[in-house]
Structure 1
């Protein structure tokens, strides 16, 4: 039975997994109760005053630190070329896009069992072959022809895969920007040293709260917050850049835990990448997705902080919106191409047809537009997508486009009038 006092969808047995005494369990419950109360109050609280001049200077520093990798001499040249092309396409309103990179979910297997995660449900590794290093090498080569300079490894948990080192090599790390996204629990000094040797530029660690007990409860793993902090220390030791990925939802936006996380990032001078909650996993069972009022509150809450950004703001040509398909592609361990990691509308499979062909098909769908986040900001899209997700773990692009047409007919209006020629 769920602990209804917890805005983090935490169960009593989850609390039991991260505590060894009833006293510890009571302390965690109290922290979760406080978080629930703060979430219900929706009070915008600040721990500091912002300075716009400093914020802009830090933003420039962030772009240089995280965006340009001087140890790879050809990378800045290729990056500059892509940015200029993006600006030109945007200036002349051309429906052309430079592919920035691919996020590879190299496995959906994971050492955690987080309530909010969809991976356990869509893991087909018992029925389908996970791609190997030779598959990734070909995909990377094809993607680079489309302009790609960045390749990421995620999951599940990438360090669960025995192939993670070979996949990094397949990403041509001497030539490209390579990122790993991890929960941090399996990351140790040996892996930090190996990542540095292989040429990994950045590691994104998931952190759900600046309060260790709440992070651990959310992840259902005792000591997981401490492992992230240790992972950050190891990355600094071996010259690997760090980004904190945090999912913002109704249960943490207004809490002390969110503010403490932002304060931690400011102190460590680490970029926080804020991701909006999607209606997947147990977030389907709670109203966790931010509404317009919450989004405005989020802007106010993060305003004084210099090291927090939203991932939709990094597009070539300075266009704000979802970069999926246009600039970034996500891929399952089996070669299925998706718009983003949380949107399991499969546009095609790279083991069956060329990447360029699949992407062109995707660009003629709603994913060809710089929309706000489809799964957090676009209410029509969510109304169509989430019921489909309930029926099965993923759908084809053709099935999804058919569902859009049915919805448009019911509502008597066209959802995406600026689409390119439809899917054939």
Structure 2
């Protein structure tokens, strides 16, 4: 049976991740055929650099696909089946402030965790809701696959403020760690793994990992993580991928310190920010944070290569690479488009999947995905240690969304104070006041 060809809108057409997603989509045309791709961004100059190169790539590799790059919502969102959204409101200039302002007060600044994630969330909520509204206005039967950060706060906002929208919030961090697990085990692909996992976005634990024959792989991975974290055998031999920046190498190695807190499970790497925040502060350079690292490396490389392709008029010998982590987006879109019943890790309303946890919390758990969207798999009760940590973090996420909706200074101060990363309410207030001063263009007015 011939598969129906899909029409895709990529919201965040000017993102440095967009070329990798295009390359990944092209590699999967046999299982996910595409008739049309549209780029949408509110920054025409930035998008043009990416779009000009991607248009050349598409003409050379799949000329049958119609391509449009636009800043007009009606053009972008009319006649589409899926919106793949990865926007960054405020771009990397604001991420730099998210990271550096907390460091002034001895608190780690990070893109999705703690104060940095809260500031970013306050910018992202409005942007993602706007995309949802455009999609529902111009293509009401379409689905939005949202991987805009901070995914936890954005997911809570869409649950609360657009409860009937066809949006699925996803994250590639577990996918990236599972790639490493497969490499640690000497397996070819993470798709050979069958996993059980629960938590919040960037805040979770694997509880069971097996191969397709049902063999328990947890002990072998646990032994490796106990000694080396998620560093791969190649990295331990000094033969790692040169594209993996030093900050990520540290993050993957740090998992060996997080792991002993519950050695029956395997932790998400981002738990280091909540369980060892002062270690991260001590390691951080307040003058050169992760945002600077990305701007100096990934941003320059991707835009430089896109501009080179546009000038030459060909993508032959291009250095742009497929974003392998993004393959989960195709898996998700295929599951919805063709009812494949794929098992995937998604961010969904709890609704009893974790039986002893807030039913309204947005949890990250395995789901079976078909044409009606995700069907969460029951995880049962979770231990007190994880439950306590998760309840505290859910409170942060819900307070942020309430603060955005109500324009409440009080609730945002409370959110910062509740965060494990912030030491006390005074520091929380100082950080908040500094954030307000630089986010007047992006945040709602707080009273």
TM-score (norm 1): 0.28
TM-score (norm 2): 0.27
Larger proportion of helix: 2
